Amino acid sequence: MVSRATLRSNDVGIKHDVQSVLRHIFDDKRCIFSVSWSMLVRWVAPPAFAFSQDCQVDLGRIALAANAFDEQSTTTMRPSARRLMAFTLSATRPHSVSFIGLGRMGSPMAYNLFSKSVAESEGTARFVVCDARTAVAEAFAADFVKQFPGTQVDIANSPEEAVLASQTVVTMLPSTPHVRNVYAESGGILPALLRLPREAVQSTLCIDSTTLDVETARTLVARADKIGVRMVDAPVSGGVAGAKAGTLSFLVGGTNTAFELARPTLERMGKHIIYCGGSGAGLAAKICNNLVLGVQQIVVSEAMLLGQKLGLQPKVLASVINTSTGACWASSVNNPVPGAVPDKSPPCERDYEGGFATRLMLKDMGLALNIAESTKTAMPLGAAAGEIYAEVIADDPDAAEKDFSAVYRYLRLPKNKED
């Protein structure tokens, strides 16, 4: 056990003793790594590092950090990156959670997760955010720290940095290719974990809330399980409004053990945490749910258009539907007609900005159709709905980023069809 000694770049007096300690540690035949005094000094300037009886030195992480600092000195790294390196060199990653993907859903989810964690930890929790758009991550971190002064929110430059900083990693990404990239490619989560000691790997929990194809999810979970990482698929239902309110439903697939480990984190972001079964079961449930939602939004749009043709006021018709057997989320919360649900604030009130992008609904319809084909399941309405959402985007490319209730606008406009 190494005695406690705080190292700073100007503590020359203890240089020889520390070199001796490091030389003894790194001469161990079990270790193939090496680290120089200059590397260590560059790391501890300006942060300080303490060897103590309650902090075991992690050789793999020290070597990884040293190599990183060889490539990029502390003078060019952001303060948040230096703190991430400090996390990386610590033997454990206590009270730390990383969130990757700060889009329409991810940003409010991360906010709820972090803010509730701050309250429960009495201000000792650490957070890391990561997004392909660095400016988005920086803005999120700045805003959160402004609202919760004294809170530490670091910015990871890559999924690798994010997982090296935290035991728990939550991902909310657009689609299957993004998940493959974040988890499996170079600079991703799973390759990074291979560099850590087994104990550190086994203490890692990955929660993926992306809606992606079931087979890819199962393949990644199998790969994670092989190295000892706990991982669950936990797609959500409830939309942007639910993400902001913290009332999302999480549909979880994975082992019972992984589910129970993930539950506290999920409860900080959602209201209903539903265990659906083994790996991929959460995604299977989500794809089926979105199949219903996608079809419903089109039918509600058709009904609202028909009612107006018959002289009904949108508000009156919506009230009838929402209190009758036609009641559904697509009408009561996400009604596509401005003014139809005055007690709500659906995307149609903002020119269909925000909400669930049409391109993502088209993606989910595609996932359902692919599964239907492979399982030989008849899905005529799903197929028709998929074609309609594709036409919405083809007719107006800008609609791809609009809420999928913009299908109402597409149906309302006359189509110039050839006879």
Measured CA to CA, the distance from residue 190 to residue 171 in angstroms comes to 13
CB 262 within 8 A of CB 234: yes
Output phi, psi for 251, to 5 deg. Answer: -105, 105
| Alpha-helical regions (H) of 268-416 | 281-309, 314-322, 329-332, 358-375, 380-395, 407-412
Q: Which of 226, 244, 286, 376 is catalytic?
A: 286
DSSP classification of residue 344: S
DSSP classification of residue 403: B
CB 42 within 8 A of CB 27: no
Q: Which is it for strands 126-130 and 152-155: parallel, antiparallel or unpaired?
A: parallel
DSSP classification of residue 414: P
Q: Catalytic: 363?
A: no
The count of residues in the chain is: 419
Measured CA to CA, the distance from residue 303 to residue 297 in angstroms comes to 10
Pseudo-torsion of CA 358, 268, 161, 280, nearest 10°? -60
**What percentage of the chain's residues is helix, strand, coil (to nearest 5)?**
55, 10, 35
Measured CA to CA, the distance from residue 138 to residue 128 in angstroms comes to 11
CA-based nearest residue to 226, from 258, 194, 257, 254: 194
Q: Cis bond leading into 46, ω under 30°?
A: yes
For the annotated catalytic residues, the residue numbers are: 286
